[in-house]
Structure 1
Amino acid sequence: MSNINRRQLLQGIGGFTVGTVIINQHRILEAATPRIEIHVTDSQGKPLDSKILDNLYFLNLQDHPIPELPRQVTQGKLFSDSPQFPFAIALKMLVEGFGEVTLYADNKGQGYSSTDFPLNLNLAFAETRIYRVSQAVSVWKKEAIQFPNTLESRLEKAKAYYNKALNTDDIYLKAKWFNSSIVESLKAGEEAVFLQAKQKITARKNFLFGCNFFGYPEKGEEYNQRFKELFNFATIPFYWKYFEPKLGQKNWPNINQRVTWLQQHDITPKGHPLVWFHEIGIPDEVRKKSYDEIKTLIARHIEEVTRYYRGKINYFDIINEPHGILWANELGYSLEQFVELTQIASEASYKGNPEIIRIINNCCLWAENVAYGKPPQHSPYEYLQNCLRNNIPFEFIGLQLYYPEQDMFEINRLLERFGQLGKPIHITELGVSSSTKTDESSYFKEPIGLWHFPWSETVQADWIEQFYTICYSKNYIYGISWWDLADGGSFMPYGGLLNKDMSPKIGFYRLKELLNQWNKIN
């Protein structure tokens, strides 16, 4: 993954039929004629590499990425048509002293217009981060959150470095001071969000701490023992192509074996997923059918599965990644079709089991595909808005949060944004690496990103502690599921909480310690 940037990953994403909101936005974009000029350097004052800079994208002030406009990118400079509405800027880049992270500039929440350019983006990033963190800290203080003087000192240092950068004409010193300012405000933001989360934690009975249960029974008894030591919730695989390779011949025994073990150990199972238009979610016979035929087959499949497991599996991801991302849209469906398929999945699952707890599972939550992919594109947020607008019944929004190249402050902002949709949330999948080495047995092979320090067991454990604490502090989040308990076939390279030999990593013990602390509160 280190050799494939996020733009390359998302660039080939297939399009949808365009919704009304996006149509209007596209019309505005088509009319955009002013050209804008953006300058950015690395922390050493050298013009930023054009390949990195080409990953810059614009957002509206609701954090929705904007389809890419005509642009020209050179070393350290980007020239682009300007959106004709207030917009923000995002770019993933290396911040020396913190890591590789997505930075944002939004002109202190007001957005930019063409008259604000040319723009020094280093300055804009530093200014916006100070503003966002200061505003958040002010709000949290009104909620009686207590912050140490060291946090205020860090924010003051960020402002001081920012002013130093403003007051020098030396481009190298300017870059150095802006980088130092961003480091301090990044750290301040993460410290603040972590501190306020810890102070907001209260008793949370019946919270679901889970993991995918894909290693059973192959990984042996040590895997099983470690699983039940940590988790009360388990995701079991229902990938349609493997579960029913030939229509009418479902592999019930494979699932039943897992369900029986989980029931014996009082662990709640969840089926994942009932509908997914990834290669492994589409049986060969189904792939050849028309859309209308597929709707009928899906409804029958879902009703049969949920009826069979009624009382044994009540949680299901009824549909997975249904907002058109390339790898999950092999049949080329539109947004309207995905919404219709979600309605079918919702109704059929309820018909099979009126006690079902339905989760709609979403990935790529920052929706860079909208900026990088060929228009029209849609975000998971927009898709969920459509589901709610169409009154589709479901119980939980599912969010995937594999290392997103965002800091904890921005992760918190995203969670709050999805929380505003008014539905409770499950964090259905997440993971980060514990090593910088190549992992040939994992899906991605190479570790993704850089958070504070190169990935290690300690860095993984620190990330887990902060992320889980933030999530557990939110009363609209009801469950968190790690993806892959053990290395040796994990999704993220060295992303397990156990080594391949089933020995626990630091992250395993750190998470166990957290759960013990929270159980005492309960």
Structure 2
Amino acid sequence: MVHTIGLSHRMAHKTIILVDALGNPVVGKDVTFKQTNHKFLFGSGIFNAIEVANKSVPADRLAFLEKKLDLFLDVFNFATLPFYWGEFPGYWGGFEPEKGKPRTKELMAAAKWLKNRNVTVKGHPLVWHTATAPWLLDLSNEEILKAQFARIQREVSDFRGLIDMWDVINEVVIMPIYDKYDNGITRIAKELGRVGMIKEMFAKTRAFNPGATLLLNDFNTSINYEILLDGCLSAGIQIDAIGIQSHQHQGYWGREKLEEVLDRFSPFGLPIHFTENTLLSGQLMPPEIVDLNDYQVTDWPSTPEFEERQAKEIEEMYTILFKHPLVEAISSWEFSDDGAWIHAPSGFVRSDNSPKPSYEVLKKLIKGDWYTNVTGRTDENGMVTFNGFLGDYELMYGDKKIGFKLEKNTGIERLTL
């Protein structure tokens, strides 16, 4: 059963006039409208695409990762790829740990691999004080700023057309006061201030890809983030979407907090992306941990009991977010427990590639309840109307397929067999 209550904003009516090669209407024939992709972005971090696209691991590991990505592609249409400037333990190294030697070729191959499979790709992030290049510390503040600008120019230009969505700057609320260790980005953030820093980085990114979707992204969902957003908009900064991280290692936010966060960030009138969602299928992290990176364990199992909890939380959270008119994307931070951040059981599939209940629940929602595959019959004018979820479609008639998009307010479209 397809559940569409409260989802009219995700759907549209469309009328097709179907004609043959001579322009004559195709009369009284059954045609099928099959959705091939959602407009809404359902995704996750999928850093293993780098290894698969470059075939940079042994054959047995490659086969394992290919199976993992097949599971990903069966449900998701959105992927985050890593552009960490320096080394980031637990992930795919760094993008440019040595000055002037970026791993552009490897990331390019991954982005192409994903795009060829109809996946929208986002780069994460262009500017961040954590996992930044250690060699920045050898530079003056003026030189650090120039190096950061040059990085933006290079990445945004090189990947334009493959990656047209960026987390431009990450976690700015804490950026100028970050004191865990010295880094070049915090140094210039102190000098420029939060709004000044964002303005410079957004302007530079926009200059090299004017049509890109640019996000401000933060884990801090307090009033401090609201104040920062207000300051940015008052300063004339064009932010295309608000990125909200939702790492819930210490427990599910629940409906009340989700709706409260949505209520507070909705008045900005900007699209909202839940960029880094995490819900565990194992024991929760102790509540006294402040910086999640400080919780270091080697064995953090996924268990049947907590997998059922994760599935219920995923179903509720995604349903709430999909119903909200400003939410345009939900991206889990991990797809799999294999190689997960801080070894958490945070994926939709286990370390052995077997799907968890949360994977099956999400697949049912995205490819079942929120998916369109309907049949209609053309009238005497070759006209047929259907209602479906926004996205990409194929009209199928006999052995013929015609691709088209279902968008809001598109009117009547003529398709030729």
TM > 0.5 = yes
What is the CA–CA distance in structure 2 between the aligned matches of 1:234 and 1:513, rounded to whole Å?
20
The question of 1:238 aligning with 2:83 is answered yes
SS in 2 for 1:456: helix
Matching residue of 1:504: 355
* Aligned AA (2:238): P
Matching residue of 1:424: 271
The question of 1:476 aligning with 2:326 is answered yes
The question of 1:356 aligning with 2:212 is answered yes
Matching residue of 1:86: none
1:11-90 correspondence to structure 2 within 5 Å: none
Cα deviation for residue 335 of structure 1 reads 9.0
Matching residue of 2:109: 257
- Greater share of residues in strand: 2
Matching residue of 1:200: 6
* Aligned AA (2:328): Y
1:339-378 correspondence to structure 2 within 5 Å: 339-366=195-222
* Aligned AA (1:431): T
What is the CA–CA distance in structure 2 between the aligned matches of 1:496 and 1:294, rounded to whole Å?
36
* Aligned AA (1:358): L
SS in 1 for 2:274: strand
Q: What do residues 70-95 of structure 1 show as CA deviations (whole Å, max 9, x unaligned)?
A: xxxxxxxxxxxxxxxxxxxxxxxxxx
* Aligned AA (1:262): L
Matching residue of 1:306: 156
Q: What do residues 429-476 of structure 1 show as CA deviations (whole Å, max 9, x unaligned)?
A: 1011102289xxx964579xxxxx996111001110111111111111
Q: What do residues 172-203 of structure 1 show as CA deviations (whole Å, max 9, x unaligned)?
A: xxxxxxxxxxxxxxxxxxxxxxxxx9742232
Structure 1 counterpart of 2:281, from 421, 426, 434? 434
1:148-163 correspondence to structure 2 within 5 Å: none
Structure 1 counterpart of 2:141, from 271, 291, 294? 291
Distance 1:454 1:513, change over 3 A: closer
Unpaired runs of 5+ in structure 1?
1-196, 368-378, 448-452
What is the CA–CA distance in structure 1 between the aligned matches of 2:41 and 2:150, rounded to whole Å?
30
Structure possessing the higher relative contact order (Cα contacts under 8 Å, 6 or more residues apart): 2
The question of 1:490 aligning with 2:337 is answered no
Q: What do residues 144-182 of structure 1 show as CA deviations (whole Å, max 9, x unaligned)?
A: xxxxxxxxxxxxxxxxxxxxxxxxxxxxxxxxxxxxxxx
* Aligned AA (1:201): L
Instruction: State which drifts further: 342-351 or 267-276.
Output: 342-351
Matching residue of 2:226: 381
What is the CA–CA distance in structure 1 between the aligned matches of 2:139 and 2:225, rounded to whole Å?
26
- Greater share of residues in helix: 1
Structure 2 counterpart of 1:465, from 300, 315, 319? 315
1:137-216 correspondence to structure 2 within 5 Å: 199-202=5-8, 203=10, 206-216=39-49
Asked if the contact 1:363/1:399 (under 8 Å) is kept, the reply is: yes
Matching residue of 1:513: 364
Asked if the contact 1:198/1:470 (under 8 Å) is kept, the reply is: no
Cα deviation for residue 342 of structure 1 reads 1.3
Matching residue of 2:122: 270
SS in 2 for 1:519: coil
Matching residue of 1:33: none
Distance 1:446 1:250, change over 3 A: closer
What is the CA–CA distance in structure 2 between the aligned matches of 1:346 and 1:263, rounded to whole Å?
24
* Aligned AA (1:421): F
Q: What do residues 374-408 of structure 1 show as CA deviations (whole Å, max 9, x unaligned)?
A: xxxxx222221211111112211100012165331
Unpaired runs of 5+ in structure 2?
12-37, 52-56, 58-63, 87-93, 286-291, 373-387, 390-417
Asked if the contact 2:219/2:246 (under 8 Å) is kept, the reply is: yes
Asked if the contact 1:277/1:329 (under 8 Å) is kept, the reply is: no
What is the CA–CA distance in structure 2 between the aligned matches of 1:510 and 1:328, rounded to whole Å?
41
SS in 1 for 2:193: helix
SS in 2 for 1:250: coil
What is the CA–CA distance in structure 1 between the aligned matches of 2:44 and 2:143, rounded to whole Å?
34
Matching residue of 1:221: 66
Asked if the contact 1:198/1:469 (under 8 Å) is kept, the reply is: no
Matching residue of 2:259: 412
What is the CA–CA distance in structure 2 between the aligned matches of 1:478 and 1:260, rounded to whole Å?
23
SS in 2 for 1:258: helix
Asked if the contact 1:434/1:494 (under 8 Å) is kept, the reply is: yes
What is the CA–CA distance in structure 1 between the aligned matches of 2:261 and 2:339, rounded to whole Å?
29
What is the CA–CA distance in structure 2 between the aligned matches of 1:335 and 1:401, rounded to whole Å?
29
What is the CA–CA distance in structure 1 between the aligned matches of 2:284 and 2:273, rounded to whole Å?
31
What is the CA–CA distance in structure 1 between the aligned matches of 2:242 and 2:266, rounded to whole Å?
9
Q: What do residues 199-257 of structure 1 show as CA deviations (whole Å, max 9, x unaligned)?
A: 42232551000100112336511111011011101000000112112222211122012
SS in 1 for 2:340: coil
Matching residue of 2:26: none
Distance 1:456 1:335, change over 3 A: farther
Distance 1:220 1:436, change over 3 A: same
SS in 2 for 1:243: coil
* Aligned AA (2:42): F
Instruction: State which drifts further: 269-278 or 201-210.
Output: 201-210
Asked if the contact 2:254/2:317 (under 8 Å) is kept, the reply is: no
Asked if the contact 1:359/1:397 (under 8 Å) is kept, the reply is: yes
Asked if the contact 1:323/1:335 (under 8 Å) is kept, the reply is: no
Q: What do residues 473-509 of structure 1 show as CA deviations (whole Å, max 9, x unaligned)?
A: 1111100001111113213620010000100000000
Distance 1:455 1:302, change over 3 A: farther
What is the CA–CA distance in structure 2 between the aligned matches of 1:461 and 1:513, rounded to whole Å?
12
Cα deviation for residue 329 of structure 1 reads 8.1
Distance 1:311 1:329, change over 3 A: farther
Asked if the contact 2:97/2:134 (under 8 Å) is kept, the reply is: yes
